[in-house]
Amino acid sequence: MESISITSPLVSADWLQSRLGSENLLILDASVPPIVPFTRHALPADLTARYIPGSLRFDYDTRVCDQNSSLPHMMPDVDFFSAQARELGINKDSAIVIYDDTGVYASPRAWWMFRAMGHDNVAVLNGGAVAWHQAGLEMSEQILTQASRPGNFEGQKSEEHFCDALVVYQLLNDKSCTILDARSAGRFYGRDPEPRDNLRGGHMPGACNMPFQQVLDDIHMKPVAELQNLFAQVAANDQKFIFTCGSGLSACILTLAAELAGYSRLTVYDGSWCEWGQPGKLPVEC
């Protein structure tokens, strides 16, 4: 089949199935176990064939991440990311579809990482492997961790897609920027303990709360119209967003939802509460 271009950040199982075999298509499994359990459908526990055929493992939790950081799955530098992508056979013109085994949970972060590296021909599979299985499509017991031949991917890192604590601190009182926290309301208001040790409870001063489950309809993203209504309650269309969560993972679910809703000034605070919530001088309120 001929090469394809991806025009939406979110694609369906039917869309992907009809394009299997496309010359430049690569399918990546970016599954990461949820650190906080949440209600969802999942693949049957006894299912041995759990992967979309031909997919490769994109492990940003332990491999494609900053190996020198004490914080979980921090964005690596452009050279390291590019080298890891080339090992997976990813090329400059690759059309990449990313899924996870939960629905839409871990895959949006991998999508945002590629976008941060200047690669726009990438999308999230709506519903992930669960939707693929529910559609009765073929699944495989095997997943590749390295391609048969390297790709020629070369990232060009954007400073707009991820930011650090200093940027967040400087924008705490900036009315043109909304800091949106994807954690649960209990964690946001300090009523529930953090799942990671030695972190304070609460949130950044002035931040708003939108638990990531609010943009999901079970395993799928909510329809665009519903996402637009949801975000319209928070900010105008030209608003700048900084998304945060516990570790920079579920923040990317909100990032995907915001882009689908038509917002474009989007940034993820990579360290998120794993960094901000540490004992120290960064301000916290409940």
Question: Long-range contacts of range 227-232, CB-CB < 8 Å, 24 or more positions apart?
Answer: 227/257, 227/258, 227/260, 227/261, 228/261, 228/262, 230/257, 230/261, 231/257, 231/258, 231/261, 231/263
Work out whether strand 122-125 and strand 95-99 pair parallel, antiparallel, or are unpaired: parallel
- Which residues are CB-neighbours of 48 under 8 A, at least 6 positions away? 141
- Among candidate residues 177, 245, 252, 274, the one labeled active-site is 245
Distance CA 272, CA 165 (A): 8
Strand locations in 167-209 (E): 177-181, 208-209
Q: Is 252 a catalytic residue?
A: no
CA distance 73 to 106: 11
Which has the closest alpha carbon to 245: 234, 232, 254? 254
Nearest residue to 157 via CA among 237, 42, 66? 66
The residues, ordered by sequence, that sit 6+ positions from 89 with a Cβ below 8 Å of its Cβ are: 26, 56, 147, 148, 149, 150, 151
**3-state DSSP assignment of residue 234:** coil
Q: What positions carry a catalytic annotation?
A: 245
